[in-house]
Amino acid sequence: MKYKSNRNIVFSCNYHVVFCPKYRRPVLVDGVDERFKEIAWEVADELGFEIAEMEVMPDHVHLLLSIDPQLSIHRAIKRIKGRSSHDLREEFPWLKSRIPTLWTNSYFVSTVGGAPLAQVRKYIERQKEV
């Protein structure tokens, strides 16, 4: 991914995110998966972040997000999960009978890309010499 910028920041903040339906039930099937993707894209457009990759498995979702550091990763994930839970349970009523809520409260997130931490530390240390 390339560097992005807003009015006052040049950045490259990329996150790998994984989350699952409640009880890891395989409910992201039969059109729910495709509709989830549409909702995720809508949220990304609204909040101004990029979905670089997205894969929806029957029992979990993988996202690669590029987010402005002024936008909290937690806020982006919370909005995707909240909107998709509301809309999908309304559009696919059978989801309501399968699980009490669509998503678990938890998620996995990891930063992606850039130099290894040791190299960044060396770079910062060397700045004193410049």
d(CA 55, CA 42): 16
Helices (H), the chain: 32-47, 73-91, 94-98, 117-126
Q: How far is residue 75's CA from residue 25's CA, in Å, rounded to a whole number?
A: 24
123 is a catalytic site residue? yes
Segment holding 65, helix H or strand E? strand 60-66
Q: Which of 3, 15, 23, 123 is catalytic?
A: 123
- Residues marked active site are found at 123
